[in-house]
């Protein structure tokens, strides 16, 4: 549950380690693996129903055997796609958060941004992400937990700063960040399929207010 501990191995490292030429040209191996992941993301953006490995190889401009040099199969590739998508989403939110002065404002941005991304992702893409997330969780539970860790890690320093400023009263910052992450993910997954009774930004604000109270804050603060 903790966001600390041994460093998680990223998908790029896992892919590079599968290549027999990793010691000779690690950077080229990582770049070619990334080329395959980006091709998968383009295919999913065009058609969220999925793709075949043959279609992927063609889109990436590599031989099918090259794909299997870096990924054991399609599931491992989809895990890499989810990992990359989460990491990029966190990076974008942190870039936006850099313009905010207060940790509580940044924390609110991160929590609401995770849900408001439903509008940006599109219904089809969000449903695909949700369906694959739960399926892959049965196969790669530890790897998927590591893929979601950047979101929790993004929350930790903001909760710490808000506690130091006296506007939050978290008793266990790392665990609280983990629970906020899980609740945000569950809300995203629910509304990927369910039609909200209210606009998604209202849902996002309600989630934030719930998390704020859970972290010992108040609407006034």
**CATH code, domain carrying 79:** 1.10.357.10
Structure confidence at residue 45 as a pLDDT band (50, 70, 90): confident
* Residue 185 domain-assigned (yes or no): yes
Helical residues (DSSP H) of 8-140, grouped into ranges: 11-18, 26-46, 53-60, 64-70, 74-97, 103-121, 123-139
Long-range pairs for 164-168: beta carbons < 8 A, 24 or more residues apart: 165/102, 165/103, 165/104, 167/104, 167/217, 167/221, 168/104, 168/215, 168/216, 168/217, 168/221
* Residue 221 domain-assigned (yes or no): no
Q: DSSP assignment, residue 163? A: H
pLDDT at 188: 93
In the predicted structure, residue 131 carries a pLDDT above the cut 90? no
* Residue 173 domain-assigned (yes or no): yes
Domain interval for residue 21: 11-214
* Residue 220 domain-assigned (yes or no): no
pLDDT at 129: 81
* Residue 99 domain-assigned (yes or no): yes
* Residue 119 domain-assigned (yes or no): yes
Segment 165-213, tens digit of pLDDT: 999 999 899 999 999 999 999 999 999 889 889 999 999 999 999 999 9
Count of positions (residues) in the chain: 221
Q: How many domains does the chain have?
A: 1
What average pLDDT does the segment 22-49 reach? 81
Q: Token pair of 34, please? A: 């990334």
Q: How open is the CA angle 123-154-202, to the nearest 5 degrees?
A: 40
* Residue 74 domain-assigned (yes or no): yes
Structure confidence at residue 17 as a pLDDT band (50, 70, 90): low
The answer to whether the predicted template modeling score (pTM) of the entire model surpasses 0.85 is no
pLDDT at 4: 42
In the predicted structure, residue 63 carries a pLDDT above the cut 50? yes
In the predicted structure, residue 6 carries a pLDDT above the cut 50? no
* Residue 1 domain-assigned (yes or no): no
Structure confidence at residue 153 as a pLDDT band (50, 70, 90): very high
């Amino acid at each position: 549950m903790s966001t600390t501990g041994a460093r998680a191995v990223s998908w790029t490292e896992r892919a590079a380690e599968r290549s027999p030429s990793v010691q000779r040209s690690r950077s080229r191996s990582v770049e070619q693996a990334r080329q395959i992941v980006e091709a998968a993301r383009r295919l999913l953006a065009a058609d969220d129903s999925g793709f075949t490995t043959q279609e992927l190889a063609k889109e990436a401009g590599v031989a099918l055997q090259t794909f299997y040099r870096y990924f054991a199969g399609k599931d491992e590739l989809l895990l890499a796609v989810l990992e990359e998508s989460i990491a990029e989403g966190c990076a974008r939110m942190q870039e936006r958060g850099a313009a905010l002065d207060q940790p509580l404002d940044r924390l609110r941005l991160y929590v609401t941004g995770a849900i408001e991304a439903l509008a940006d992702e599109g219904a089809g893409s969000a449903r695909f992400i949700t369906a694959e997330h739960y399926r892959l969780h049965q196969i790669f539970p530890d790897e998927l937990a590591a893929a979601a860790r950047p979101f929790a890690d993004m929350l930790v320093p903001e909760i710490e700063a808000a506690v130091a400023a006296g506007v939050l009263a978290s008793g266990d910052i790392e665990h609280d960040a983990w629970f906020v992450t899980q609740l945000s993910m569950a809300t995203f997954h629910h509304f990927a399929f369910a039609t909200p009774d209210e606009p998604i930004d209202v849902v996002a604000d309600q989630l934030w207010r719930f998390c704020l109270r859970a972290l010992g804050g108040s609407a006034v603060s």
